[in-house]
Amino acid sequence: MAKDPVRVLVTGAAGQIGYALVPMIARGVMLGADQPVILHMLDIPPAAEALNGVKMELVDAAFPLLKGVVATTDVVEACTSVNIAVMVGGFPRKEGMERKDVMSKNVSIYKSQASALEKHAAANCKVLVVANPANTNALILKEFAPSIPEKNISCLTRLDHNRALGQISERLNVQVSDVKNVIIWGNHSSTQYPDVNHATVKIPAGEKAVRELVADDAWLNGEFITTVQQRGAAIIKARKLSSALSAASAACDHIRDWVLGTPEGTWVSMGVYSDGSYNVPAGLIYSFPVTCQNGEWKIVQGLSIDEFSRKKLDLTAEELSEEKALAYSCLS
Ligand code: NAD
Ligand code: LMR
């Protein structure tokens, strides 16, 4: 029997990530090839005409799984009955803008959209925040939507996770699908800590540690980390625009694994509400290694953290605490 359609909200849908993401969702990349979807696309009035153009293209693409499209600038209409909300909408930093200016614009958007989601989304709606500052926008959304369970609110660090897999695969000249269990700890920013201490590569006899195969701790503790941390900036320099196809693909990976589950023996990185695991302060949205089953994520416990890693976990937590304080000062 055909499944009922799932309603997926994409905010900022007329933007560049939105343009890459909506066809992926309509093709079943996010929720599976047998899952019909109804897309809800939200943008702001100046982008209404472009948004309508995206809707026209979705109709023209004749996606068999796409059972409806709501394209609107009305946040209530956009949020009504959605099962999944991918929050991409926001203001990118422009020349001459201070970090605080960007924070101030974006956190107030997330405060107001939190209320709309809380009132109008379907019960148990899963929320993924992509727009930067992703962790702090997600935290504001969580705090201003107290009736949405904290386990349902997350932010995107899967792009960083995928970037780390990509770097290891290139360095070792192995298939990216044979590399697993890297970890992104902390903030989706240049203080994030890409950790390979538990990562492995599939070999004919089983699995081998990435550290053993790379056999170059200086690279793994240096250039590898900074390359992943700075990859977003490198893409902006090369494209004159921030990453879009890789961000959209990572958003699909994030939701797919959350809803359909992670493969046995594999974890992924998700920005989730800290419960104090690994001595990360509770009350931050922090990227952890997680496994997912039956639509719920669980932080992987018991991994050893050496002194080098500890410092890096703490540094990115400190930045998130500062961002949280700055966000609240912008809202007051
Ligand atoms: P973009 O400027 O092309 O698109 C953003 C869209 O959001 C625009 O269409 C804009 O009109 C819309 N918008 C602005 N305010 C809105 C509101 N209140 N409600 C709904 N829509 C609104 O930007 P983009 O390249 O698509 O990037 C979107 C965001 O994602 C940026 O914040 C970017 O920094 C972030 N990003 C995050 C990651 C990640 O891994 N977490 C990766 C890449 C980009
Ligand atoms: C990315 O990681 O590609 C983006 O978050 C970069 C940015 O600042 O938009």
Nearest-ligand number for the alpha carbon of 102: 1
Residue nearest atom 1 in ligand 2 by C-alpha distance: 232
Q: What is the pLDDT of residues 139-158, one digit of tens each?
A: 999 999 999 999 999 999 99
* pLDDT at 98 (0 to 100): 67
Residue 184 contacts residue 193 (beta carbons within 8 Å)? yes
User: What number does the ligand 2 atom closest to the CA of 159 have?
Assistant: 2
Ligand 1 pocket: which residues have CB below 6 Å? Answer: 11-12, 14-18, 42-44, 47, 88-92, 109, 130-132, 134, 156, 159, 188, 242-244, 247
Q: Is 188 annotated as catalytic?
A: yes
List, edge to edge, every strand of the sheet that includes 37-42. Answer: 66-72, 37-42, 6-11, 84-87, 126-129, 153-155, 268-273, 285-293, 296-299
* pLDDT at 70 (0 to 100): 98
Select which of 40, 161, 188, 254 is catalytic: 188
Only one residue has tokens 């979705």, namely 58
d(CA 251, CA 234): 20
List, edge to edge, every strand of the sheet that includes 206-209. Answer: 179-180, 200-203, 206-209
* pLDDT at 100 (0 to 100): 72
Buried b (16+ CB within 10 A) or exposed e, 44-67: eeebeeebeebbeebeeeebebbb
Six-digit token string for 248: 């959209």
To test the ligand 2 pocket, which listed residue (21, 132, 246) has its Cβ within 8 A of the most ligand atoms? Answer: 132
Measured torsion, CA atoms of residues 84, 86, 90, 93, in degrees rounded to the nearest 10: 160
Residue nearest atom 10 in ligand 1 by C-alpha distance: 12
Q: What is the pLDDT of residues 226-265, one digit of tens each?
A: 999 999 999 999 999 999 999 999 999 999 999 999 999 9
Query: What is the 8-class DSSP label of residue 194?
Result: E
Residue nearest atom 27 in ligand 1 by C-alpha distance: 17
* pLDDT at 99 (0 to 100): 67
Segments of the chain scoring below 70 in pLDDT? 93-99
d(CA 250, CA 172): 22
Q: Which of 223, 118, 115 is nearest to 168 (CA)?
A: 223
Residue 148 contacts residue 107 (beta carbons within 8 Å)? no
d(CA 266, CA 256): 14
Query: What is the 8-class DSSP label of residue 186?
Result: B
- The model carries a pTM of 0.98
Nearest-ligand number for the alpha carbon of 16: 1
Tally Cβ neighbours within 10 Å of residue 306: 9
Q: How far is the CA of 131 from the centre of ligand 2 (A)?
A: 9
Residue nearest atom 5 in ligand 2 by C-alpha distance: 232
Q: What angle do CA 313, 314, 320 make, to 5 degrees?
A: 95
Residue 11 contacts residue 73 (beta carbons within 8 Å)? no
Six-digit token string for 28: 């079943």
* pLDDT at 94 (0 to 100): 67
Residue nearest atom 23 in ligand 1 by C-alpha distance: 15
* pLDDT at 208 (0 to 100): 98
d(CA 164, CA 188): 13
Tally Cβ neighbours within 10 Å of residue 325: 10
Q: How far is the CA of 176 from the centre of ligand 2 (A)?
A: 22
Nearest-ligand number for the alpha carbon of 13: 1
d(CA 119, CA 61): 33
